[in-house]
């Protein structure tokens, strides 16, 4: 996000600031009874920036009588050594506020110590709200068991995890994500063979690079693996870069014609106006794309960056818009998911937790209302 260091940085994933705005908007619209929020955050670049963004978003709420008072409490990040005393001090600082709503910005490895401490100081469990950022993976608690009545069983019940995602498939839907999902699951055996030949390293506990994942027959058609949020955002990013590049070449061609010069080569309209779905990009048009290269030798990185930031289109992850102030995805066009953690007590005296979607939204405070599905 440091535009002074990375002048041509942009992305179609919301920034942490965008997610912070979604967090504040959730409390403002869904929990109007809570006008005070404690933020427990890891004191690294991620946690500090997230905390600052929450503070700014809370202070920027209009009308002022709906603003949320935020109190932050940091703790140091050291993956090798987790300091229980320091975490206790940070949690106690929030406990002393008397607040009932808390937002956590930390990682998987911090979760046990933090939530045990929250129970110890009386700010977790019934009557308290905890929502945690995507620093905590949504799968961390899924299937995890704790002894019934233990601090972690008490603290984990009902917490939320908020994160930006690519979308949700709706059977028979016609949104960008639905189209993307149909294309993903509709890939053929030829793509399975290509995937296997590419030699993608498998995820394994030992991190061994010579173990490769092999897609079984029916891998795509049988829906054996859903596309991740990363896949959806990557797809949209590549599409946006292509549209930006084509747009630059189209502008150059139009300037050439307006200036009285002849086109360096006939450029078919279906090439200049080719859409994301390829509906107007026929095989003939694809063959003629090379003609565009003669209209201008090159465009530079600054040209492409500026064109990328201007892109607006319906992508796999929703309506793509980039905030020109941050050059990251406009959070009002992003898809945020709130996961709910729910436990079930078994006969063995343990509570096993599942993680399910409780609501999602594609709007933030700039638009009228907040669109949610529960």
Asked if residue 7 is part of any domain, the answer here is no
Do residue 142 and residue 22 come from a single domain? Answer: yes
pLDDT, residue 348, reads 95
| Cα 194 from Cα 355, distance rounded (Å) | 34
pLDDT, residue 89, reads 97
Asked if residue 2 is part of any domain, the answer here is no
Range of the domain at 358: 16-166+332-373
pLDDT, residue 208, reads 63
Do residue 159 and residue 197 come from a single domain? Answer: no
Q: Which two tokens stand for residue 161?
A: 């995890």
Output the DSSP codes for 9-59: ---SSBPHHHHHHHHHHHHHHH-TT--EEEEEEESSHHHHHHHHHHHHHHH
The total number of structural domains in the chain stands at: 3
CB neighbours of residue 348 within 10 Å: 9
Do residue 153 and residue 24 come from a single domain? Answer: yes
Do residue 234 and residue 221 come from a single domain? Answer: no
Do residue 73 and residue 113 come from a single domain? Answer: yes
| Cα 271 from Cα 285, distance rounded (Å) | 5
pLDDT, residue 295, reads 46
Rounded average pLDDT per 10-residue block, the chain, 374 residues = 80 90 89 94 94 94 90 87 91 98 96 97 97 93 96 97 87 87 89 76 58 77 82 95 93 79 51 45 44 58 95 93 90 90 96 87 42 36
Do residue 307 and residue 343 come from a single domain? Answer: no
Asked if residue 119 is part of any domain, the answer here is yes
């Amino acid at each position: 996000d440091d535009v002074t260091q990375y002048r041509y940085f942009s992305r179609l994933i919301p920034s942490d600031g965008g997610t912070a705005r979604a967090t504040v908007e959730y409390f403002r619209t869904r929990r109007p009874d809570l006008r005070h929020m404690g933020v427990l955050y890891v004191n690294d670049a991620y946690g500090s920036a997230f905390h600052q963004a929450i503070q700014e978003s809370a202070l920027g709420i209009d009308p002022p009588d709906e603003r949320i008072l935020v109190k932050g409490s940091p703790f140091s990040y050291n993956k090798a050594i987790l300091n229980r005393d320091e975490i206790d001090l940070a949690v106690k600082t929030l406990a002393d506020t008397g607040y009932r709503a808390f937002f956590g910005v930390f990682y998987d490895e911090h979760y046990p110590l933090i939530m045990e401490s929250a129970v110890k100081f009386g700010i977790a469990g019934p009557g308290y709200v905890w929502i945690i950022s995507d620093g905590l993976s949504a799968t961390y608690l899924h299937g995890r068991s704790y002894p019934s009545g233990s601090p972690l069983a008490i603290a984990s019940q009902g917490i939320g995890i908020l994160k930006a995602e690519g979308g949700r498939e709706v059977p028979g839907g016609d949104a960008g994500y639905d189209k993307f999902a149909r294309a993903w699951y509709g890939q053929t055996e030829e793509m399975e063979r290509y995937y296997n030949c590419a030699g993608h390293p498998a995820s394994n506990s030992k991190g061994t690079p010579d173990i490769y994942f092999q897609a079984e027959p029916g891998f795509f058609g049988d829906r054996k693996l859903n596309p991740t949020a990363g896949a959806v955002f990557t797809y949209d990013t590549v599409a946006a870069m292509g549209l930006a590049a084509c747009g630059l070449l189209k502008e150059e061609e139009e300037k050439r014609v307006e200036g009285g010069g002849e086109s360096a080569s006939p450029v078919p309209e279906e090439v200049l106006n080719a859409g994301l779905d390829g509906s107007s990009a026929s095989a003939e048009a694809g063959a003629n794309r090379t003609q565009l290269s003669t209209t201008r030798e090159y465009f530079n990185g600054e040209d492409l960056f500026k064109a990328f930031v201007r892109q607006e289109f319906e992508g796999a992850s929703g309506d793509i818009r980039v905030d020109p102030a941050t050059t990251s995805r406009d959070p009002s066009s992003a898809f945020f998911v709130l996961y709910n953690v729910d436990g079930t007590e078994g006969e063995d005296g343990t509570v096993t937790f599942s993680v399910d979607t409780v609501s999602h939204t594609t709007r933030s405070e700039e638009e009228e209302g907040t669109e949610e599905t529960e």
